[in-house]
Amino acid sequence: MDSMRVEKRLLRADLRQSRVDNFMAESWIHILQAPEVQAARIVASYISYGFEPQTVDINSSLIASGKTVLLPRILPNKDLEWVKWEGSLTHLKKNGNVLEPIGDALSDETTIDVVIVPALVVDRQGNRMGQGGGSYDRALARISAWKVALVGAHEVRSSTLPTETHDEKVDAAATPGLLLRFNPDAPDRL
């Protein structure tokens, strides 16, 4: 295993423990006020579990506002496909710790306007570190939508994260109190 992967694996272990130690049940619902989300017709989200930033209120509010919500389903090759979800728990099945949607996969990922992305940490350049499977990196590479990562307030780093060529950046990160854009022209840039 090369040194970059070892460094990332060790960092992930520290980040997971920090998330457990600092977890507070908070809301990230303010991201719904972002112009990109307001204008979106189709939003790819996820169902949080454990100590991840909670998405229950975001997903239910998106559905209530008439937006199409997609959830990820992990394929055998660890890639993701997106499935429309209308909010029913009966249309979900458990895959390890993750609840995944049941139904037909979206055929055209170019129709996705916004992707709400899980992350353990983000840095000032929009680099994100996920759980380490690379599933989101594969999917994000194909999607030109606005990408926002949900993280805790202590999970935004000023130091650059270790990255590999396959790692995909996000356009913004949301903490419970802030939406931080990684566009140099945005007024709320870190």
* Domain regions of the chain by residue span: 3-181
Highest mean pLDDT among 65-69, 126-130, 163-167: 65-69
Give the pLDDT score at 112.
98
Six token digits for residue 187: 């007024």
Convert the pLDDT of each residue in 30-63 to its tens digit. Answer: 999 999 999 999 999 999 988 889 999 999 999 9
pLDDT above 60 (res 187): no
Query: Cβ(75)–Cβ(81) under 8 Å?
Result: yes
Mean pLDDT across the stretch 181-188?
66
Q: How does residue 162 score in pLDDT terms, banded at 50, 70 and 90?
A: confident
Mean pLDDT rounded to a whole number for the chain: 88
Length in residues, the chain: 190
Query: Looking at residue 3, what is its pLDDT?
Result: 77
Superfamily of domain 3-181 in the CATH hierarchy: NagB/RpiA/CoA transferase-like (3.40.50.10420)
Confidence of residue 189 (pLDDT cuts 50, 70, 90): very low
Q: What is the pLDDT of residues 98-136, one digit of tens each?
A: 899 999 999 999 999 999 999 988 999 999 987 767 799
Q: What's the pTM value of the predicted model, to 2 decimals? A: 0.85
